[in-house]
Amino acid sequence: MKQMKRWMTMVILAVCGVNMFFIACKGTAESYPHVLGTLDGPLLVDSAPANVLAAMEKAERFHQYEIMNDTVNEVSVWSLQEVDTSSTEGYGIVIVKGATSTTFPHIRNVRQPLGSYDRASNTLWLAASAMEGTGVAVERLYQIRFDGDGKASIERTIDPFDLQQQLCQRVGYHIEGQQITFYDGQRLWATATSAATDMGDFDGEHPLWIGEQMQYDLSGDAPRLLITPGVKYVEGPVLDYVDMPTFCAPLTIEADGQISIGDLEIVEHPYEGTYLDQDNNEPNLFISYRRNDGKYDVQIGIFRLTSLDDGIGTIGDDGLSFVATDVAGNPIGGVITLSGDTAEVTFNNTTWELLEPGSQFIYVRQE
């Protein structure tokens, strides 16, 4: 695997912080510089260690963890955690269609891979880790097909380096003071403004880099690439991602097999985050976006009353509607609305005697 040009985040960032906001703009691009890439070459496809392959071949018992389970189309994806009593050391994916199971021992299963099945094309998209580390989250995308018996095979993989190189040719920027203006080709689409005055100016030679943060959203009709640029400052070897925007773009496989990247847009998940309860000022509301289906994981703690750990939320006209399971094992649901950094949780559907319909609780986003 090729090495990456990386910089460790300095402790000063934790002290000073970086606050940014993003606005849409109008304008035209000239000969502005383009982002540079941290990946210096194609990433080799991982191979499981020999001892892990040997253990997989002779194992009689497999410990698997569910990644996705499409019960309608009878397609599921599992990660191998252990074979007999031996660890798989982060390798091994099992794909099941109907009654047919196919094992891919060389695909990485760390950092929770994603899977999404498209019935129309009989295609499974799988996003799995290609590189991980402090501040690094790089995924490789697999396109997997099934034969008539349900056996799975890898039709193609998409190397993160190829996508990085496409973006390095497209994404330009202009920096004035603490403001970054982003361009997608000739299209000016967003700016980011930093309030980190104690960090000094941006590095005037090579301030913006991509490649360390490349993941996927598989919740739509086509895979979407997610990429976050890092900023390098003059004072010290810093590549920082704090409050930098994440961009997304759909991927298209052309007739000749080439991968094209669609228009870049800013990713916005306003509900996502950790919130403190009003009564005890403790983190008791956790909302996280799910890149496999576009829904949200919702965990709600109510001080001295209960906690709901299995909530699933969907965005609607009224806010983030959620359904969970109460302490008696019954469904419980409601809606979460946002006003700035304040989240109001209202329980509309509840049969639990200690939590009546209409009960409301206030939480404030943790800084």
- Residue 137 CB partners (closer than 8 Å, separation 6+): 111, 129, 212, 213, 214, 215
Which residues face 102 on adjacent strands?
95
pLDDT in tens, 121-141: 999 999 999 988 877 889 999
- Tens-binned pLDDT, residue by residue, of the chain (367 aa): 444 443 333 222 222 233 333 333 334 444 578 888 989 899 988 888 898 888 888 777 788 889 999 999 999 999 988 887 788 888 999 999 999 999 999 999 988 899 999 999 999 999 999 988 877 889 999 999 999 999 999 999 999 999 999 999 989 887 776 777 888 876 766 676 655 434 445 555 677 889 989 999 998 888 999 998 887 765 545 567 766 788 899 999 888 888 999 989 888 888 999 999 988 899 999 999 998 888 999 999 998 899 999 999 999 889 999 999 998 899 999 999 999 999 999 999 999 888 999 999 999 999 8
pLDDT at 31: 56
The CA-based dihedral angle spanning residues 230, 232, 237, 243, taken in that order and rounded to the nearest 10 degrees: -50
pLDDT at 174: 79
State the Cα–Cα distance between residues 136 and 156, nearest whole angstrom.
24
Closest by Cα among 281, 278, 295, 180 to 233: 180
Write the CA distances from 232 to 19, 35, 206, integer angstroms. Answer: 15, 11, 7
Sorted by where each begins, the domain ranges of the chain are 18-42+162-266, 50-126, 273-365
Please, are residues 240 and 233 in contact by the beta-carbon 8 Å criterion?
yes
Please write down the HEC assignment for all residues of the chain.
CCCECCCCCCCHHHHHCCCEEEECCCCECCCCCECEECECCCCCCCCCCHHHHHHHHHCCCEEEEEEEEECCCCEEEEEEEEECCEECCCEEEEEEECCEEEEEEEEECCCCCEEEEECCCCEEEEEEEEEEECCEEEEEEEEEEECCCCCEEEEEEECHHHHHHHHHHHEEEEEECCEEEEEECCEEEEEEEECCHHHCCECCCCCEEECCEEEEECCCCCCEEEECCEEEECCCCEEECCCCCCEEEEEEECCCCCEEECCCEECCCCCCEEEEECCCCCEEEEEEECCCCCCEEEEEEECCCEEEEEEEEEEECCEEEEEEECCCCCEEEEEEEEECCEEEEEEEECCCCCCCCCEEEEEEECC
Tokens of 96: 């099941």
pLDDT at 5: 40
Burial class (CB in 10 A: 0-12, 13-18, 19+), 7: middle
The CA-based dihedral angle spanning residues 239, 37, 186, 241, taken in that order and rounded to the nearest 10 degrees: -20
